[in-house]
Amino acid sequence: MEQGTDGTWVSMVPPLVAIGLAVVLRHAVLSLCLGVYVGILISQDLQPVISLQRFFDTYIPNAIGNSSRVAILIFCLLLSGMVTIVASSGGLRGLSQMIGRAASTSQRAQIGTWFFGMVMFVDDYANSLLVGSTLRPTMDRLKISREKLAFLVDSTAAPVASLAVISSWIAAEVSFVSNEFSRLGIDQNPFQVIVESLQYRYYPILMLVFVLVIAVSQRDFGPMLTAERLAQTPPASIPLHDGNLFERRVINSAHYENGQWYDAFLPISVTILTIVFGMYFDGLVQLQKHDSHTSHEFWKIFGEARAAIVLVWSSVAGCFTAIALSVLKRTLTLKEAIEALFQGMKMVLPALVVLILAWAISDICYELGTAKYLAGFGGAVSSSFLPAMVFVIAAVASFATGSSWGTMGILFPLVIPMAYSIGGENILIESIASVLAGSVFGDHCSPISDTTILSSMATECALANHVRTQFPYAMMVGVISVIIGDIGVGLGWWNSWVALGLGCAVLIVLVLGIGKRVNGF
């Protein structure tokens, strides 16, 4: 992959083609393929035959040639296999029944989904896949739309993981900031700066509050309200089933009815614990390779961990636990468990194709300089408006490329030097927060985002429907975040804590004012 250029307006064409076609055609694979191909055409001086060759022999292989991306693909394959095993053994059915007994109403189910998403803070991929697939049968039973479930899952995935100080995100965040601090000679602890920036990350915080308000109030508006009403009125927009996709394709087992909640809970718990402890011990090993005689701070250990590799370990541990438990309990034979594992892998392949294409278009956007072109508009902004402008640029870049991490990686080398030279430490921290929050916002809205795709897949909600119903909610929270948060604090009207309080109050008033209940006003 060539080093990204400064970019021109032409660099915006590939993501606009992909996004526009995804909305119009509602076919993610075709839209992404055409978006990638258009980008290659531009990079290859409009040579159609050579561009087609480069599509297959260069850009697609490069999209999965990165070791971290390969690890993520393996993680998704194994995690889907694990969920299929616990579904085949009856564990997912038992867990759903237990959750269903507690979630006796729509309100309780939605609050429970929000809470489950908050608990799954370690990684947004694991969050999307596990929460979505586990709670889908309960939501179907309560006639909650797949669009609402996809929104609840997606809105408690990246926003939670991006804020957690122990997550797969913290490693990337600290790494990006640390690199720029070293280049500029800034003598500050990168992790402490990341922690200090939490209070300025208005979008992910307010989005989590917004989700809870929607769940508690039981009010919706826009396309989401329509989807919820369709789910309540037979024939529903999405067929209701006693089980989920995994359970409708399970291996025939005479002991399926004997599955218990812990048959699913234990493999899931092992997966989460492996991520937490794996990141700590792997980070410790990586640090000791460089300096085995120095005691290291807790944050630095997690910052050095190879998050993608740890995710693979966690999925292997989860699969092993699921297989061992089902075989020892004799709910599945070893042959049935292995068949279920591969059945789960096969089921996730279409989503992984979309994920690979999303990476490919992110790569071509980087090569053409899309994010750098967008970042070029921020040069003439005063320090008071710099955080707001950075948020908008990060949001648009992340939306266009479908990659929050890619956006962070490209914008930090541009934003940190500019913010430090313009406004000093305070503006620096606020601008860092704006890059992180804006990247989450754009990623949250984008139809070519990996977490958007995974949330859609895990909840079995059509990607176009998920994006269409979630977008108005994300836009409302995003606009409030910019006006009350970035602009209000930037102009000195109030501090960040007051901004968060005001943002929460405005969201509550708006939801209660314009939102409507599914069965009434």
Q: Position of tokens 């919820």?
A: 228
Q: Position of tokens 């068949």?
A: 339
Is residue 365 within 8 A of residue 412, CB to CB? The reply is no
Angstrom distance (rounded) from CA 324 to CA 88: 13
Asked if pLDDT for residue 169 goes beyond 70, the answer is yes
- Distances from the Cα of 97 to the Cαs of 10, 143, 294, 323, in angstroms? 53, 15, 50, 21
pLDDT digits (tens, 9 = 90+) for 308-329: 788 788 889 989 999 999 888 8
The span from the first CA to the last CA of the chain, in angstroms, equals 54
pLDDT digits (tens, 9 = 90+) for 250-302: 444 555 566 777 887 888 888 878 877 887 888 788 777 776 555 566 666 76
Angstrom distance (rounded) from CA 149 to CA 111: 11
| Residue of 372, 488, 378, 391 whose CA lies nearest to 437 | 391
Asked if pLDDT for residue 7 goes beyond 70, the answer is no
What is the number of other CB atoms lying within 10 angstroms of the CB of residue 424?
A: 11
- Distances from the Cα of 85 to the Cαs of 71, 274, 338, in angstroms? 21, 19, 8
Asked if pLDDT for residue 72 goes beyond 90, the answer is no
Angstrom distance (rounded) from CA 422 to CA 357: 38
Q: Sign (positive/negative) of CA torsion 71, 38, 365, 32? A: negative
Q: What is the 8-class DSSP label of residue 495? A: -
Q: Sign (positive/negative) of CA torsion 502, 503, 504, 508? A: positive
Angstrom distance (rounded) from CA 223 to CA 216: 19
| Residue of 454, 447, 507 whose CA lies nearest to 478 | 507
Asked if pLDDT for residue 23 goes beyond 60, the answer is no
Asked if pLDDT for residue 487 goes beyond 90, the answer is yes
What phi and psi, each to the nearest 5 degrees, are found at residue 48? -65, -40
pLDDT at residue 22, rounded to an integer: 62
Among 168-177, 343-352, 393-402, which is the least confidently predicted range? 168-177
What is the number of other CB atoms lying within 10 angstroms of the CB of residue 444?
A: 30
- Distances from the Cα of 17 to the Cαs of 26, 358, 442, in angstroms? 13, 13, 17
Angstrom distance (rounded) from CA 272 to CA 58: 35
What is the number of other CB atoms lying within 10 angstroms of the CB of residue 68?
A: 14
| Residue of 225, 256, 75, 224 whose CA lies nearest to 150 | 224
The mean pLDDT value for 114-124 works out to 76
pLDDT at residue 1, rounded to an integer: 46
pLDDT at residue 275, rounded to an integer: 79
Q: Return all residues near 142 (Cβ < 8 A) that are at least 6 apart.
A: 103, 105, 106, 109
pLDDT at residue 250, rounded to an integer: 46
Q: Which two tokens stand for residue 190?
A: 């990168």
The mean pLDDT value for 57-79 works out to 81
Reported confidence tier of residue 97, pLDDT bands at 50, 70, 90: low
pTM of the model: 0.71
Asked if pLDDT for residue 351 goes beyond 80, the answer is no
Q: Is 157 helix (H, G, I), strand (E, B) or coil?
A: coil
pLDDT digits (tens, 9 = 90+) for 355-404: 687 778 777 877 887 656 655 655 556 778 888 988 988 888 788 777 77
Is residue 412 within 8 A of residue 177, CB to CB? The reply is yes
What string of H, E and C letters represents the secondary structure of 214-262? Answer: HHHHCCECCHHHHHHHHHHCCCCCCCCCCCCHHHHCCCCCCCHHHCCCH
Which DSSP string do the residues of 64-118 spell out, in sequence order? TTSHHHHHHHHHHHHHHHHHHHHHHTTHHHHHHHHHHHH--SHHHHHHHHHHHHH
What's the CA dihedral at 394, 395, 399, 404 to 10 degrees? 60
pLDDT digits (tens, 9 = 90+) for 430-454: 989 999 999 899 888 888 787 888 8
Single-letter residue type at 17: V
Among 28-32, 63-67, 294-298, which is the least confidently predicted range? 294-298
Q: Return all residues near 394 (Cβ < 8 A) that are at least 6 apart.
A: 407, 408, 411, 434, 435, 436, 437, 438, 439, 441, 442
Angstrom distance (rounded) from CA 103 to CA 185: 53
| Residue of 87, 143, 133 whose CA lies nearest to 113 | 133
Q: Is 441 helix (H, G, I), strand (E, B) or coil?
A: helix
Angstrom distance (rounded) from CA 367 to CA 354: 20
Reported confidence tier of residue 514, pLDDT bands at 50, 70, 90: very high
What is the number of other CB atoms lying within 10 angstroms of the CB of residue 267?
A: 28
Reported confidence tier of residue 244, pLDDT bands at 50, 70, 90: very low
What is the average pLDDT value for the chain, to the nearest integer?
79
What phi and psi, each to the nearest 5 degrees, are found at residue 144? -95, 130
Q: Is 20 helix (H, G, I), strand (E, B) or coil?
A: helix
Q: Return all residues near 20 (Cβ < 8 A) that are at least 6 apart.
A: 31
pLDDT at residue 171, rounded to an integer: 61
Q: Is 62 helix (H, G, I), strand (E, B) or coil?
A: helix
Return the percentage of the chain with pLDDT > 90, whole number: 18
Return the percentage of the chain with pLDDT > 70, whole number: 81
